[in-house]
Structure 1
Amino acid sequence: MTTSRGNIIDGAGYAAQLRERLKRHVADLKAAHGLTPCLVVVIVGEDPASQVYVRSKGEQTLAIGMESRTIRLPYTTSEAELLNLIADLNAERAVNGILVQLPLPKHMSSLKVIDAIDPDKDVDGFHVANAGRLAVGLPGIVPCTPLGSLMLLQDAMQTYGDSFAGKHAVIVGRSNIVGKPMAQLLLQQDCTVTIAHSKTRDLPAVCREADILVAAVGRPKFVQGDWVKDGAYVIDVGINRIEIDGPEGKKNKLVGDVDFDAAKAHALAITPVPKGVGPMTIACLLNNTLKAFCLQNNLPVPEGV
């Protein structure tokens, strides 16, 4: 194994390769069965960041040959109206994946809305049924960001001739979207897993024990360089906008939950922000849509999906 430090895990490059593989699979399915996977994204309201994400999801879905539908609802839509729409999409055979863009308006319950989605069409992997399947090791749909993070780790491990078995993985953050499913995935890879959070005592010391460190707390540059064990793999899930001084005044900059420049002096391999985990999230959404399509149509899931 290389002993160099600060090697960059190229999430953008890996995501591009994944999309190309998915594109070939979609073309093969069309040729063999005359069917096209369909992803429906529902967005409620006018949140600017959500609008950008939804547009990008639609563009990338079309780019690999899938059908993309975006349903835009006004902020004033009632929860009952949204639940009725989801029920209709659940019943529509041509729809293989349903994603409701979060956050939802405050008058709606995200848990109730997610629970209404057919688990077999829940391409975000947030439904409690999919969470349960992951927890007990049954086949299901895995949340996109943890899945993408695992793919990047698997690729890095292969690059450096390493393996997961017996490694201590520390996940900073216990959300249902990233922290908890990431822990389950790493347990399945035979890691010893610690989930750390805001109440963890001596968090820096816990992080220094990690062979694999996953940061998912939503706090810019929270994980300091000296929290990183020499030779660790670091996956930075955070996407935070901060203001910095530039030659023409203040400007926004994207940073992760890890102090990248300080951490890469210790890490064997580390994801940057941007172009790290972020691009993998949408690529894995497409991956999940293809998987859902195959399972719904009793077709074999392509290898690697």
Structure 2
Amino acid sequence: LYFSHTPSGIIEIIKRQGIEIKGKEAVIIGRSNIVGKPVAFLLLHNHATVTICHSRTVDLPKVAKRADILIVAVGKPFIVTDEYVKPGAIVIDVGINRIKKEDASEELLNWRKDAFEKRGSTLVGDVDFLKVKEIAGYLTPVPGGVGPLTVAMLMKNTLKSAKKSQ
């Protein structure tokens, strides 16, 4: 059985942090067929209580703040701030958003100075990293968080498939 690469990578990140998923309350912001729904299935398979949120969710910050595990995959930079995160929560940022230098805040310009100097832009997630890192128990960075595990799960599935074909 093969699972989608990004959702599998998310589960792998959580497990590699030594976090037991069983019994945890997980909130997913984003209901796409690529990430949101498949990761909900995998979390349910691992015995989490799962809530899927979307653009019509009433009082999203309040719902998100219940999460022991918060997964954000909407494609909107910095949509999740500290008001969405319960202290100590595991926050997985799946978003990939390019911000041009002219659109960046002073804080972002200072934080990602090298990227702006080299490329004139930087990648950020859906989570406001600088605000959320202070209260989250664990927070994946963008770039360098979910992406590498997505690639690793792709390689795992490729190897599994190659072994089955022999």
Matched, 1:153 2:14: yes
Scaled by the length of structure 2, the TM-score of the pair is: 0.87
Matched, 1:188 2:45: yes
Distance in 1, Cα, partners of 2:60 & 2:52 = 11
Larger radius of gyration: 1
Aligned with 1:214 (options 39, 59, 71): 71
Aligned letter for 2:5? C
Aligned with 1:290 (options 151, 159, 166): 159
Q: Is the 8 A contact 1:165 1:190 kept in 2?
A: yes
Matched, 1:272 2:141: yes
Partner residue of 1:86? none
DSSP 3-state at the match of 1:242: strand
Aligned letter for 1:283? A
DSSP 3-state at the match of 1:186: helix
Matched, 1:142 2:6: no
Find runs of 4+ consecutive structure 1 residues off by over 3 angstroms: 245-250
Q: Which runs of 5+ in 1 are unaligned?
A: 1-139, 298-305
Q: Which runs of 5+ in 2 are unaligned?
A: 103-108
Distance in 2, Cα, partners of 1:244 & 1:224 = 21
Scaled by the length of structure 1, the TM-score of the pair is: 0.48
Write out aligned runs for 1:117-132 (5 A).
Answer: none
Matched, 1:171 2:13: no
Matched, 1:261 2:122: no
Distance in 2, Cα, partners of 1:215 & 1:239 = 11
Q: Percent identity?
A: 51
Distance in 2, Cα, partners of 1:283 & 1:163 = 21
Shift of residue 275 of structure 1? 0.8
Distance in 1, Cα, partners of 2:165 & 2:57 = 42
DSSP 3-state at the match of 1:266: coil
Write out aligned runs for 1:47-62 (5 A).
Answer: none
Q: Is the 8 A contact 1:218 1:257 kept in 2?
A: yes
Cα RMSD for the two superposed structures: 1.7
DSSP 3-state at the match of 2:71: strand
